[in-house]
Amino acid sequence: MFPKTIALLLCISFVFVFSLSAQEQLGIRLSNYGGINSTLLNPAYHTTSPFTWDVNLVEGASSVWNNYTYFRDASLVSLLKDIKDIKVEFGPDLVEGVQPKPGGVVIDFFRDGRQREAYVLNSILGPSFYVQAGQHRLGLVTRARQLGSAHGVDTDYSYYDYDRRAFFDDFAVAPFRTAIAGWTEVGLNYAFTGETASGTFAVGVTLKALQSYEGIYFTNRETFRYQKLPNDSIGSTSPADFAFGFTTNNLDTKEYRPVRNGGGMAADLGVVFTIDGETDAPYLWKFGFSLLDVGKLNFRKNAEAHTVQIPDAVSIATEAYRAFSGLEEGQDYIRFFSSQTLGDSAASLSGSSFGIWLPSAFSFQADRALGGNFFVGANYTQGFSLGEGALQRGSLLAISPRMESRWLEAAIPITVYDWQQVRVGLALRLAFFTIGTEHLGSIFRKSDFQGTDLYFAIKINPFQLSQKDKGWQSGRQPRVSGGKKGRIRCYKF
């Protein structure tokens, strides 16, 4: 009962995300023409842009990935084709060798022994810009984000593992966390560029004011022993310690109404170095390092925080939870759960506020000019958690060859996500419009479909490059004899 419920919820999540239309949107972030959009990966990365100003009108991104469940023989195009009449069949209920019904899609489950992870992102970068004044760049970033993550869920909760487990055969459940949050942010970006003997260096920071809207998290704080019991019951054979919190303003309404339930602060920090070379590009090498999303969402209105510390073994009958039909019943069931585990329906309630840490990460970037308009960029991003209630960003290792010019750009990012899946993407830019994906195969090629992503951006910047910017674009910086290696770069403002 328990895994099947999770599977159906994940299926609904897939359909919900598809109706909205990537992990890092590398086709925009790593480009020298990414402008203000590049600051989302490194707040100093736009300092190698040829433009003295850049304006993002709108950027949208949607990404979903998990390694718990998948659609058999499906792609994004095939799923969206008949989304209103889609017929979902449950893989474990099908007789082996029997084909699904015509027009149906089968949801099935991985059995590879991995810990279970999930990641859902929806992001809209609103009106944002930067302007350059000499060695300084000042910008403003506005953004709305919705993110959900599950990290480190024990593989014994995989559908087939759990379904086939014998009654009373307990197993250890390691600490794990899940969280979902929706928020907006307004960020002030500043970057400074200076000269070095071999190139340039830049430092950047984006300070962000956060507005918290919706949030929910659940954390298993310590390892405990869990077992499946007869009659749809579950239980622990050792002490257990859970913490969770959620916002309540939309639990009993039929239509979603955004309500600001708190706020917070966050920061992105970054540095960039370039190294000159005998090339027609603006640099031979570019290296960057950044810390991203160092901050916390605080929920102080319409919020509940709960702690469940079970001192002894306990068994829980789940039959009553089968009647659960909507979020409006959520608080009643939590009180019932508190009564089952702690003997008091109000015992788990520990406060009227809680916090969720942002999906913090550190990121390394490297870019190599290959000559002409050709470059190859690389990125390694690793998420980390600053607290128990936290959104968790996965790991991403990527290499992205690209051809870029003022009016045309094409990039082919090849990524390894969370050390589990290799993806090939494609991003195309025509003047001021960019469209891309980091998982091209998931859109068109039918396979075991466990996620996809799409992104786009519409922006404006100077229609014509100035003489100084043309010199940047070609890499032909004015030089005079003397100084280290017989020359000194003349920096132009």
**Tokens 């998420």 map to which residue?**
383
Instruction: Report the pLDDT averaged over residues 116-122.
Output: 89
Q: Output 184 or 153, whichever has higher pLDDT.
A: 184
Give pLDDT, residue 16. 37
Instruction: Report the pLDDT averaged over residues 21-25.
Output: 60
Give pLDDT, residue 465. 61
Q: Where are the domains of the chain?
A: 2-489
Give pLDDT, residue 388. 86
Give pLDDT, residue 328. 66
Least confident of 231-245, 255-269, 279-293: 231-245
Q: Does 8 score more than 60 pLDDT?
A: no
Long-range contacts, stretch 132-136, CB < 8 angstroms, 24+ apart: 132/51, 132/52, 132/53, 134/493, 135/192, 135/193, 135/194, 135/491, 135/493, 136/190, 136/191, 136/192, 136/193
Give pLDDT, residue 326. 65
Give pLDDT, residue 83. 74
Cα Rg of the chain, angstroms = 25
In this structure, are residues 344 and 334 in contact, taking their beta carbons and an 8 Å threshold?
A: no
Q: CA–CA separation, 396 vs 419, rounded Å? A: 8
**Model confidence at 42, in pLDDT bands (50, 70, 90)?**
very high
Q: What is the pLDDT of residues 60-103, one digit of tens each?
A: 999 888 889 999 888 888 888 877 777 888 888 887 767 777 77
Cβ-in-10-Å burial (0-12, 13-18, 19+) of 331 comes to middle
In this structure, are residues 400 and 370 in contact, taking their beta carbons and an 8 Å threshold?
A: no
Q: Does 220 score more than 70 pLDDT?
A: yes
Least confident of 17-26, 245-254, 297-306: 17-26
In 3D, which of 401, 406, 403 has the Cα closest to residue 373? 403
Q: What is the pLDDT of residues 132-168, one digit of tens each?
A: 999 999 999 999 999 999 888 888 888 888 888 888 8
- One-letter-per-residue 3-state SS of 134-164: CCEEEEEEEEEEEEEEEEEECHHHCHHHHHC
**Model confidence at 3, in pLDDT bands (50, 70, 90)?**
very low
Instruction: Report the pLDDT averaged over residues 323-346.
Output: 76
**Tokens 């790593």 map to which residue?**
30
Give pLDDT, residue 483. 35
Instruction: Report the pLDDT averaged over residues 376-400.
Output: 92
Instruction: Report the pLDDT averaged over residues 455-480.
Output: 63
Distances (CA, A) of 59 to 37, 102, 178: 8, 38, 27
Q: CA–CA separation, 104 vs 145, rounded Å? A: 33
Q: Does 468 score more than 80 pLDDT?
A: no
Q: Does 475 score more than 60 pLDDT?
A: no
Give pLDDT, residue 173. 87
Instruction: Report the pLDDT averaged over residues 183-209.
Output: 96
Give pLDDT, residue 484. 38
Give pLDDT, residue 104. 78
Q: Does 320 score more than 50 pLDDT?
A: yes
Helix (H) or strand (E) holding 161: helix 159-163
For the ranges 18-22, 462-466, 480-484, the one whose mean pLDDT is highest? 462-466
**Model confidence at 317, in pLDDT bands (50, 70, 90)?**
confident
**Model confidence at 193, in pLDDT bands (50, 70, 90)?**
very high
For the ranges 16-30, 291-305, 320-334, 452-466, the one whose mean pLDDT is highest? 291-305
The chain-wide mean pLDDT, for the chain, equals 84
In 3D, which of 362, 361, 359 has the Cα closest to residue 288? 362
In 3D, which of 12, 28, 96 has the Cα closest to residue 60? 28
